[in-house]
Amino acid sequence: MTAAGPAATARTRAAKPARLVPRRNPWRHPWVLEGVTWAYLIWSLVPVALAVLFSFNNGKSQSVWQGFSWRWYFSDPVNSVLHDPALHAAVIQTIRLAVFVTLITVPLGVAFALGLNRWRGRAASSFTFVMILSFVIPELIFGVAMFFVFTKLFTPVGLGTLAEILALVTWNLSWPALIVQARLVTMGRQYEDAAADLGASPWQVIYRVMVPMLTPAIFAGAVLVFSGVVDDFVLVDLLSSNAGNTPMSVYIYAQQRGGNGGPALNALGTIMLVMSFAVAIAGYLAYRWLTRGERGTRVDALATIAGES
């Protein structure tokens, strides 16, 4: 009995499987994630930095540095952005589209947001869902649809600047509408009710109470619309009719695809980049200044809007 007991215990221990040592997950180390982040940033930004750098190249080469110069911006009397009629027209057309589309889209988006905020029922939820469709529908499909609309149905409009503006307004309308609607959700109706109790008319409530409080959201929507129009390619490529209404993005693509690229196109792309960054930075600083001291629940507001749809 005594001898069999230890032997049986030893056999039982030998039969038990060995404890598995868990493998270390290398992705849990911070240095791995930092390395992936830096690799992504380098992969994304180095080509852009090189394109910007060679826009200041004194020669025509895009691979050999020949000295710093403003030649391709304004110094060259023929091929610079300032003096080349095609490059100059592309810059002017881009600015024209961005300004007009922003001035049209933002007031319409604010009006839609105010209407949807006061509208109750299933129809309101349906229209809120329609506002989100531009984030779901591929831009190429939308652009092809607009092309057929302006060439088959509304032939007086045709292709050109007016068609580009109408398509860009329709495509970008969701940005100010959803941002302002999120702002309305965080505000609640107490300010409107207080103004109405003090004798303000509905229009006075909107202009003297609502619009000043919605200014940060309106400004943020305007920045997104302006930047989106500057960078847009698909819609303006499909709806432009000639070189006079071709913006910078389409012109750069056409020239590079045709083998006519050069430092002047790099300068044109740098101008696009500076415009987008300048508007984004100015919008961010203005938004921070206008919303200083606030503790709003903007994420909850967006979740509420998504839940309603």
Query: Which tens digit of pLDDT belongs to each residue from 100-155?
Result: 999 999 999 998 888 887 776 666 666 777 777 778 888 999 999 999 999 988 88
In whole angstroms, give the CA distance from residue 268 to residue 259.
16
Burial class (CB in 10 A: 0-12, 13-18, 19+), 181: buried
From residue 304, give the alpha-carbon distance in Å to each of 76, 101, 131, 186, 308: 55, 28, 15, 10, 6
Which residue has 């959700």 as its token pair? 185
Most confident range, picked from 95-104, 120-129, 176-185, 293-302: 95-104
pLDDT of residue 26: 59
Per-residue pLDDT, averaged over 173-191, amounts to 84
Domains and CATH numbers, the chain: 85-308 (1.10.3720.10)
- CA-angle at 162, arms to 181 and 227, nearest 5°: 45
Cα distances (angstroms) measured from residue 299 to each of 13, 75, 258 = 56, 49, 46
Tokens at 228, concatenated: 């989106």
Helix H or strand E encompassing 40: helix 30-54
Inform me whether the pLDDT recorded for 304 exceeds 80: no
Which range has the worst mean pLDDT, 96-100, 192-196, 200-204, 295-299?
Answer: 295-299
What are the Cα distances from residue 51, in Å, to 55, 154, 263, 274, 299?
6, 41, 8, 13, 37
Q: Please, what's the b/e burial string for 239-273 (b: 16 or more CB within 10 A of its CB; e: otherwise)?
A: bbeeeebbbbbbbbeebeeeeeebbbbbbbbbbbb
Of 53 and 190, more confident = 53
**pTM, 2 dp:** 0.75
Mean of the pLDDT values across residues 226-243?
89
Predicted confidence band of residue 295 (pLDDT cuts 50, 70, 90): very low
pLDDT the model gives residue 306: 47
**Residue 6 pLDDT level (bands cut at 50, 70, 90):** low
Give the span between the Cα atoms of 169 and 103, in whole angstroms: 10
Structure confidence at residue 172 as a pLDDT band (50, 70, 90):
very high
pLDDT for res 305: 42
Q: What pLDDT was estimated at residue 16?
A: 53
Share of the chain above pLDDT 70, in %: 81
Kindly report the number of other CB atoms within 10 A of residue 12's CB atom. 9
C-beta separation of 51 from 44 below 8 A = no
Name which of 185-189, 249-253, 262-266 the model is least confident about: 185-189
Instruction: Using only the alpha carbons of the chain, give its radius of gyration.
Output: 29
Confidence of residue 302 (pLDDT cuts 50, 70, 90): very low
Query: What's the pLDDT at 209?
Result: 79
Higher pLDDT, residue 233 or 22: 233
The 10 Å Cβ neighbour count of residue 106 is 25
Angle 222-228-232 (CA atoms, 0-180°, nearest 5)?
150
Q: What local confidence, expressed as pLDDT, does residue 104 receive?
A: 95
How far apart, in whole angstroms, are the C-alpha atoms of residue 294 and residue 91? 38
Task: Tell me: pLDDT of 159 over 80.
Answer: yes
Q: What does the mean pLDDT of the chain come to?
A: 80
pLDDT of residue 130: 73
Mean pLDDT of 28-37: 77
Q: What values do phi and psi take at 164, rounded to 5?
A: -65, -45
More confident residue, 264 or 164: 164
